[in-house]
């Protein structure tokens, strides 16, 4: 199963394995990663699973969707070119080892 590296707001690093098809947000909430609030459970309704994707994985995670784009503009933490809503990134084998930093505010 592919792995995700979470850099958490408390400074800790957690590595979570998840099955292909499950989103980065899903993997984070199910393992209780601090800072992945994800109140809507991945319905793209709350912008509380904001992460910054490490540069080497930016292409692999794909493009920001239109609705996601609008939500990210007004997310609680600053938006950068690394910003994604982690519910919108389904895991693939190609994403094995993907590193994300959880936004400091959700």
Partner 1 sequence: MTNSQSLPARTGVLVVGAGEAGVRVAASLRELGYDQPILLLGDEPHGPYQRPPLSKAFLNGTGDPTALALRNPEYFAEAGIDLRTGRTITHVEVGDSGAGTACCDDGDTVAFDHLVLATGARARALPVDGADLIGVCTLRSLCDAEVLRERLGSAEQVVVLGAGYIGLEAAAVTSARGLATTVVERETRLLSRVGAAPLSDFLLARHREWGVGFRLGAEVRAIVGDDGDQVRGVRLADGQVLAADLVVVGVGAVPQTALAEKLGLRVRRGIAVDGAGRTSHPGVFAAGDCTVVAHPHLPEELIGVESVQNANDQARAVAAGIVGVAPPAPPVPWFWSDQRDLKLQIAGISGGHDEYVVRGHPGARDVSVLYYRAETLIASESVNRPKDFLAVKRALGRGATIPPQAAADPDVPLKDLIVDRM
List of residues contacting partner 1 (CB under 8 A): 22, 26, 29-32, 34, 39-41, 43-47, 67, 70-71, 73-75
Residue 45 vs 60, nearer CB to partner 1: 45
Rounded Cα distance between 25 and 29, Å, is 6
Residue 60 vs 105, nearer CB to partner 1: 105
CB of 84 to partner 1, least distance (A): 15
Cβ-contact 17, 98 below 8 angstroms: no
Residue 7 vs 22, nearer CB to partner 1: 22
């Amino acid at each position: 199963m592919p792995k995700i590296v979470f850099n958490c707001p408390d400074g800790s690093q957690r590595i979570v394995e998840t099955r292909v098809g499950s989103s980065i947000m899903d993997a984070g909430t199910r393992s209780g990663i601090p800072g992945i609030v994800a109140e809507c459970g991945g319905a793209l309704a709350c912008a509380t699973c904001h992460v910054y994707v490490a540069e080497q994985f930016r292409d692999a995670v794909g493009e920001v969707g239109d609705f996601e784009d609008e939500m990210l503009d007004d997310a609680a933490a600053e938006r950068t070119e690394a910003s994604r809503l982690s519910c919108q990134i389904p895991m693939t084998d190609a994403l094995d080892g993907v590193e994300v930093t959880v936004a400091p505010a959700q």
